[in-house]
């Protein structure tokens, strides 16, 4: 994948995580614990994808 | 050609705009604030946002609510229509409101406003629950917000009337 693809993925993960954090807080305040755990898992997967994309981007970016 | 006849930018030690075009560039800033640094910050932000959801799950796991106790609130005879009484349920830290509406129904909700936790009061004239802090209105029949800043309904206290005494027996957070 190209560098721009990694940029896109990382920006997308930020958007997902902002939404998930908002929904998590809402679910927590509403005591909707089942969906809260779902949002939490999605958020952590998204963070993992962001990290993985970053390492892949770094490999491409710093290769001569 | 004498110095005076030269264009401004060609004169000695000139401060002409067309000279020293790189003066506004700061090498340190250039190294610090660039495309790569931006992406690294973006990744950090994404991970931080992801990790920020963990405490909510941990707190949810630790604070799972157990079965509710049956707690006496008041005698029905002491609560005429159009009146309300304050009590605490399920713990002493959870203020609640039992309302005997003008229609004769008994309704009970936790009275902390879902906006900023101000206490909610029963307005007999309009038959609504009102949070005076920011003018939040709740429907007394279902606890859902009807006007103002609150977005979520008030937690519903399940009640039972037994031998003329009103008891609180449970609580629902999301209802209706």
Cβ neighbours of residue B64 under 8 Å, at least 6 residues apart?
Answer: A33
CATH code assigned to B71-172: 2.102.10.10
Q: Which of B44, B50, B51 to mutate to test the interface with A (most CBs of A within 10 A)?
A: B50
Distance CA A42, CA B14 (A): 61
pLDDT tens figures, A5-60? 999 999 999 999 999 999 999 899 888 888 999 999 999 999 999 999 999 999 99
What is the pLDDT, as a whole number, of residue B87? 95
pLDDT class of B65 with cuts at 50, 70, 90: low
Domain tally for chain A? Answer: 1
Taking 80 as the threshold, does the pLDDT of residue B20 lie above it? no
What sign has the CA pseudo-torsion B73, B78, B82, B84? negative
pLDDT tens figures, B104-162? 999 999 999 999 999 999 999 999 999 999 999 999 999 999 999 999 999 999 999 99
Range of the domain at A34: 3-61
pLDDT tens figures, B40-59? 999 999 999 999 999 999 99
Cβ-Cβ contacts under 8 Å, B60 against chain A: 28, 33, 36-37
Residue of B nearest to A14 (CA): B46
pLDDT tens figures, B28-39? 887 888 899 999
Measured between CA atoms, how close is B163 to chain A, in angstroms? 33
Asked if B47 and A51 come within 8 Å (Cβ–Cβ), the reply is: yes
């Amino acid at each position: 994948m190209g560098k721009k693809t990694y940029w896109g993925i990382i920006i997308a993960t930020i958007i997902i995580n902002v939404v998930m954090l908002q929904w998590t807080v809402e679910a927590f305040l509403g005591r909707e614990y089942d969906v809260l755990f779902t949002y939490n898992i999605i958020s952590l997967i998204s963070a993992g994808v962001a990290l993985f994309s970053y390492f892949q981007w770094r490999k491409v970016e710093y290769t001569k | 050609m004498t110095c005076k006849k030269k264009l401004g930018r060609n004169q000695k030690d000139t401060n002409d705009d067309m000279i020293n075009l790189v003066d506004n560039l700061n090498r340190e800033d250039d190294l610090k604030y660039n495309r790569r640094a931006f992406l690294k910050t973006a990744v950090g932000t994404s991970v931080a946002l992801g990790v920020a959801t963990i405490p909510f799950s941990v707190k949810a796991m630790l604070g799972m609510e157990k079965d509710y106790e049956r707690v006496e609130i008041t005698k029905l005879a002491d609560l005429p229509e159009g009146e309300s009484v304050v009590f605490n349920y399920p713990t002493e830290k959870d203020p609640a409101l039992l309302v005997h509406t003008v229609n004769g129904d008994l309704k009970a909700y936790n009275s902390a406003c879902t906006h900023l936790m101000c206490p909610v009061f029963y307005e007999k004239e309009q038959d609504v629950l009102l949070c005076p802090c920011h003018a939040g209105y709740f429907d007394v029949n279902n606890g859902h917000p009807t006007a103002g800043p609150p977005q979520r309904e008030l937690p519903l206290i399940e009640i039972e009337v037994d031998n003329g005494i009103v008891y609180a027996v449970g609580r629902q957070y999301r209802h209706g």
